[in-house]
Amino acid sequence: MVDDAPTIADAITLELFDRDRAFYEHAAPELRAEVRASTRKHVRSGIRTMAGLAASDDRAIHVWRETGRRRAQQGVPLEAVLNAYSYGARVLWESIINLRGNPTRGVDDETLILMGQQVWNALDVQNATACESYRREEALLQRRDLQRQLAVLDGLVQGRGSEPEFAEDARHVLGLDPDEEVLAIVCLADDAPDQASRWAEERLEQLGLKAYWLQLAAHTVGLIGLGGRPPSQVVDQIRADATSRCAVAPSRDGLRGFAVARQLAARAASSLPRGARELVEVRDKLPEVLLAGSPEATRLLVSETLGRLLSQPDSTRQVLLDTLSALLRHSGSPTHAAQELFCHRNTVIYRLKQIEELTGRSLSAPRDRLMMSLAVIALRTSEGEAAPMAVGA
């Protein structure tokens, strides 16, 4: 049967291409040619192995192992690989059956049974060998892809997205279109940092969006490819699932602006109180982001704005800060602040006089009101961190 191997193999190849048409119609000509050559090698090696003619280094099992590895590298679905072996075994068996009635090459029933046993037993070994080789190679390729993705993300965090050559390679590794808009997301977990982004990973996968993740010390950085969707739409679709402190920032300059977007998202996430399960957008936390950008200036702002108020006994200081916050939320109105604080309007007016006396500032002055608003935001943000802001008296 060795002389018939090319004909048998070509019949197997044609049936394989027909049955798995959805895949092979879009395959490169080089892959189709390799499959045809590989099938010929399989059939010839298989026949020689069954006949006891193959050398130890030419046995069929070596071909099966190499094929599993190659098909994984080429992205051929494992199902198509296993189907090929099933088709091949059937066509080979039919070729053997045809020998029975051949007057010059016929085989007796005992030999026919022996050949059939070898063909079908070999199919089980073929499948197991190719499958093991395929999955081992697939796992290796996935590890390599993950390492490349992590290296690319690390480079983007360091600001290398502005380098044209690096950005082009990054888009290829991450599978992003040249003009695709991306989101930077930062997740903080107060107890288990490695679990901070799990909820986002699962939700984004459900939405069919590409997302890549990098663990950086206490927080997890993610890059989300929007695939043409509006950023606000994506945020709305995942916001309710948040299980940690998270923030997102759009990078409208694509990969070039990712490093800046990541920094902004990190500052916004850090402004949330510890233990919060919330996703915010940077645009909703701009004052906090601005303050976090310059800790030294922020400490000076708080100290210079609130002055002696900060040196009051704890209970007094907290009451006055709560009153100031309520007044700022209600545009300085004692009436509305009193309703929020569940106290008399005159009480709020008295506390307001104390605040203005201790700080030397007036809520009726626009600049003083702005300074007080920023100081209160800075204090509130510092309460969400592990260590309170050192403001001094």
Structure confidence by residue, pLDDT tens digits, 269-307: 988 888 888 999 999 999 988 888 888 888 898 999 998
Lowest mean pLDDT among 27-36, 104-113, 247-256: 104-113
Which CATH entry fits the domain spanning 2-144: 3.30.70.20, 1.10.150.170, 1.10.490.10, 3.30.1330.40?
1.10.490.10
Radius of gyration of the chain (CA): 35
**Alpha-carbon torsion (278, 284, 288, 293), positive or negative:** positive
- Average confidence (pLDDT) over 118-141: 86
- Average confidence (pLDDT) over 158-173: 91
Give residue-wise pLDDT tens across range 340-385.
999 999 999 999 999 999 999 999 999 999 999 999 988 887 755 4
Please tell me the distance from the alpha carbon of residue 381 to that of residue 389, in angstroms, as a whole number.
Answer: 9
3-state secondary structure at position 338: helix
Question: Which own/partner pairs from 194-200 qualify as long-range (CB within 8 Å, at least 24 positions apart)?
Answer: 194/220, 195/244, 196/220, 196/244, 196/245, 196/246, 197/222, 197/244, 197/246, 198/243, 199/241, 199/242, 199/243, 199/244, 200/238, 200/241, 200/242, 200/246
Please tell me the distance from the alpha carbon of residue 328 to that of residue 212, in angstroms, as a whole number.
Answer: 41
Domain 294-383 has CATH 3.50.50.60: no
CA distances from 129 to 12, 66, 324 (A): 20, 9, 74
Please tell me the distance from the alpha carbon of residue 298 to that of residue 378, in angstroms, as a whole number.
Answer: 7
Residue 89 near residue 119, CB atoms below 8 Å: yes
Residue 324 near residue 376, CB atoms below 8 Å: yes
Say what the pLDDT of residue 101 is: 64
Half-sphere exposure of 109 (CA within 13 A, CB side): 0
Give residue-wise pLDDT tens across range 38-86.
888 888 888 888 778 777 666 778 888 888 898 888 888 888 888 888 8
In the chain, what percentage of residues exceed pLDDT 90? 34
Say what the pLDDT of residue 387 is: 33
- Average confidence (pLDDT) over 256-280: 91
Lowest mean pLDDT among 97-106, 164-173, 212-221, 310-319: 97-106
Residue 267 near residue 385, CB atoms below 8 Å: no
Residue 196 near residue 187, CB atoms below 8 Å: yes
Please tell me the distance from the alpha carbon of residue 15 to that of residue 230, in angstroms, as a whole number.
Answer: 46
Please tell me the distance from the alpha carbon of residue 215 to that of residue 115, in angstroms, as a whole number.
Answer: 57
Domain boundaries, the chain: 2-144, 166-291, 294-383
Decide if pLDDT at 388 tops 70: no
Domain 166-291 has CATH 3.40.50.1700: no
Average pLDDT in the chain: 86
372 closest CA partner among 358, 391, 359, 390: 359
Quick one: angle between helices 345-359 and 295-306, nearest 10? 110
**Strand ranges (E), the chain:** 182-188, 210-216, 219-225, 245-251, 278-281
Lowest mean pLDDT among 96-110, 211-225, 244-258: 96-110
Residue 19 near residue 80, CB atoms below 8 Å: no
